[in-house]
Amino acid sequence: MEELSLAEIQQANEKVDRQRLDPTLGVKERGLLELSALALRDAERLAIARLQKQVYKDMELVTARLNQLSKRIRSRVTRMNKVPKALDAIETVVKEVVQILFMVGKW
């Protein structure tokens, strides 16, 4: 059986609701339209539930991709921070050496 889209179900429901307002309807016809409206509302709920599940799955995939990207960014930032830290250490050593040479030069 081919599944109807949410929009198609909603259109059918609107059509049934309009038909139910017809004052010339008999009791049997009105009852059938009432049952149709109930069935369409159930179908609408199921379609919405299916869409929600799909949205949740999509969100989980996007979240997983964002987490991977976040890990890659953190890793690269860590690597990038190693260079300035190394330069700071070298700078400190060079300053110490210059200070020592300056002191030796004074003697």
- Residue 107's pLDDT is 65
Q: What is the distance between the alpha carbons of residues 24 and 30, in angstroms, rounded to a whole number?
A: 10
Question: What are the tens digits of pLDDT across the range 49-101?
Answer: 999 999 999 999 999 999 999 999 999 888 887 878 788 888 888 888 888 88
Question: Domain ranges in the chain?
Answer: 6-80
Give the mean pLDDT of 34-50.
94
- Residue 2's pLDDT is 58
Mean pLDDT of the residues in the chain:
89
51 contacts 65 by C-beta, under 8 angstroms: no
